[in-house]
Structure 1
């Protein structure tokens, strides 16, 4: 079998190059978006069967990045005109078929009983097969006795607010109703509690719709400076108002159909700024397919994370694991409940795993026996 990995900013060029180099019988093994030198690239691994005696037989482990000034030949037939959404659906189908074929081959008997119990629990909760395969391979490769080290390589944590972030301007983006406005205010209040002497501001990044009046009212009641940013000039004024050590937490209205995050940041004069981090605000009440759509739509070439809101409304928390695997972003903050002052906490590995395995909300001081049923407690102990 001949295997090659291709990278390019344009999916169409990647597909055309695969068909040109590997032929029409090539099979797509994986498809993901990676960051390289600050750019988001489409990375596709493809394979084609070859004769064992052929000099080209075997696995090629190098990655081919297609030069940007190279025009790849167009794919023949109707495939050249297939919309991007259709390609994505086809890749998801191929990926699903491959995972279905691979899953029965998982030798779970190689794992310790505690590990098997934790893996079965994750599967019942709704963790995707691709994540389970990744965790299984990681456990068997490293010889670890629990699943948490392997899971921690999938679900990373970078607390916000904390000194782990070098950026001073934190933009919260996501779908309507995700809780961006309250999350902005909660983060600003948490930052003020952490460093009372530090200037903390909030802002609304206007897009022609809405006026940020709700955030403005909340900010006035909390004694926090409020800004409206509608373009590059307003953004420069905001940066000047921060001084040398100020911070700002800003909400961005949801994207319009066909719009992407990089376009929105360029319109505001924020694209490429080393001071800016962009955080995706989502709720675990969303389905995995919906989380995938959000991860693709709100992807941006800037440092970022995932902020989870409305945790108290979710029936399980497999989405935390699935989304971290899909988006390749760390978890930064966890929010639940209506209280504005104490219902958001910086993310920690302990808090994440208590959510996943025990359904225990951050700050819940109930005894372990009251945090969930026996199956969840047993799975937590096994992990």
Structure 2
């Protein structure tokens, strides 16, 4: 097998180069965005089976940076090479934000769906026990993606597990927030506008204050004095919680020193603008690389999985973190929690729902997450009589028992 890596600003040029130099049978192994000489480049690793075994030296990976081509008219644009059905359906061929537009993502998503449609009839579901098949069918109705279901199927058949929960637990990690399982004491919530960051910051601060009433708890607004920070300040004052504004490294050092040996702070970061990255924001505030800082994604399952993956790629930072799920009461199903956790490899830390400010955020536990997914039961509530668009309480309870 020959493996080569190509880099270029333009995705179309890379795909055309792969097709011309490696042939139509080339398979895309990975796709990522890298920085080289201060420029963002798309990097694609491709492989093709050799007719004859190549020497060992030829098997080494080569990185080819494609020079920029002169501008051409729309009629001369390169088109992507068509993927073959043999392509690995688990390969994330186009990462969110790596393509030049939404059209590329839609095209590759469609190709992936076609490949999964070809693979699914070949899966030997008769190898599973009836309760296992029932659980997988329920997860499929809940919106769990085919690639995730395929991973579950392989885990059940390869490991001999009788239920799906052990395999799901390997996909969906749990790390409760706020709790002492976190060594960091400054917790920054990031995410798109409207994700519920302000409410989640206040709820987390109130939860920490209830757990440890004698230790300092602070809420902070980062980066600018936006309208959201004014609301955060007002609610903090009404709740008896200290508020600080952090717009520079000096103000962050002041915040850190004010916490003392045991205090915690929960901060809201406004949404990014233009080509900003979260690491750039953190460096500007003197928070990047600080051992006491964790960065958490505030996401809501009312968005599609593809959109949430795009948000996660844009707002992910080089710091410990998790996912805080918000606006759970506005979602009709919760398979997205599994899809996103599997895609971004971040644990679930907190579950937030309802309009009330106080006591509507729960530190995540495995039991709460599985009840939410399989029974649509929010933490602290009894099972509802029915699920929107999902039938009766009895069917949900059957799926939960099967899991």
TM-score range relative to shorter protein: 0.7 to 0.9
Q: Deviations over 1:97-139 (max 9, x none)?
A: 3323222222111111100011111111111111111111111
Tell whether 2:137 aligns with 1:120: yes
Structure 2 runs not aligned, ≥5 long: 35-40, 70-75, 81-97
Name 1:27's counterpart in structure 2: 27
CA RMSD of aligned residues (A): 3.5
> 1:50 — aligned with what?
50
SS in 1 for 2:356: coil
Structure-2 change in CA distance of 1:5 and 1:314 (3 Å): farther
- Partner-residue secondary structure (3-state), 1:257: coil
Paired residue secondary structure (2:227):
coil
1:1-383 alignment runs, 5 A limit? 2=1, 4=3, 19=18, 23-25=22-24, 26-31=26-31, 46-51=46-51, 54-56=52-54, 72-74=65-67, 78=77, 84-85=100-101, 88-89=105-106, 91-207=108-224, 209-210=226-227, 212-366=229-383, 373-383=393-403
SS in 1 for 2:316: coil
Q: Unpaired segments of 5 or more residues in structure 1?
A: 35-40
| Structure 2 length-normalised TM | 0.80
Secondary structure of the residue aligned to 1:212 is helix
Superposed displacement of residue 327, structure 1 = 1.6
CA distance in 1: counterparts of 2:60 and 2:154, whole angstroms: 22
Equivalent-residue separation in structure 2 for 1:303 and 1:33 (angstroms): 21
The secondary structure found in structure 1 opposite 2:272 is coil
SS of match in other structure, 2:187: strand
Cα displacement (A) at 1:146 = 0.6
Find the aligned partners of 2:50 and 2:10 in 1 and give their Cα distance. Answer: 25
Q: Return the offset for 1:78.
A: 4.9
In 1, Cα distance between equivalents of 2:7 and 2:138:
38
Distance of 1:21 and 1:32 partners within structure 2 = 21
The alpha-carbon deviation at position 210 of structure 1 amounts to 3.2
Separation in 1, partners of 2:2, 2:370 = 37
8 Å Cα contact 2:6/2:14 also seen in 1: no
Residues 30 and 145 of structure 1, relative CA distance in 2, 3 Å threshold: farther
| C-alpha distance in structure 2 between counterparts of 1:5 and 1:115, whole Å | 40
2: CA distance between counterparts of 1:250 and 1:180? Answer: 9
* 330-339 or 260-269: bigger deviation: 260-269
C-alpha distance in 2 between matches for 1:236 and 1:248? 13
Shift in Å at residue 296 of structure 1?
A: 1.7
- How many residues end up aligned between the 2 structures? 366
- Secondary structure of 1:304 counterpart: coil
- How far residue 277 of structure 1 moved from its aligned partner, in angstroms, is 0.9
Inter-CA distance 55–305: structure 2 relative to 1 (3 Å threshold): same
Matched with 1:38 is: none
Aligned to 2:73: none
Deviations, residues 163-197 of structure 1 (Å, cap 9, x unaligned) = 21111110001111211111111111111111122
C-alpha displacement at 1:348, in angstroms?
0.8
Contact 2:8 2:66 in 1 (8 A): no
Shift of 1:257: 3.0
Aligned-residue offset at 1:363: 0.6
| Post-superposition offset of 1:56 | 3.7
| C-alpha distance in structure 2 between counterparts of 1:345 and 1:201, whole Å | 19
Q: How far apart, in 2, do the equivalents of 1:93 and 1:63 lie?
A: 32
Q: What's the offset of the Cα at 1:236?
A: 1.6
**Contact 2:7–2:66 (8 Å) recurs in 1:** no
How many angstroms does 1:72 deviate by? Answer: 2.6
* Distance (Å, rounded) in 2 between the aligned partners of 1:220 and 1:344: 19
Change (3 A) 1:24 1:197: farther
TM-fit CA distance, 1:96: 3.1
Q: Deviations over 1:335-375 (max 9, x none)?
A: 11122221100111111111111111111134x87785222
Q: Distance in 2 between matches of 1:351 and 1:151?
A: 14
Tell me, in whole angstroms, the C-alpha distance in 1 between the residues paired with 2:2 and 2:147. Answer: 20
- Name the CA shift for 1:174/1:184 in 2 (closer, same or farther; >3 Å): same
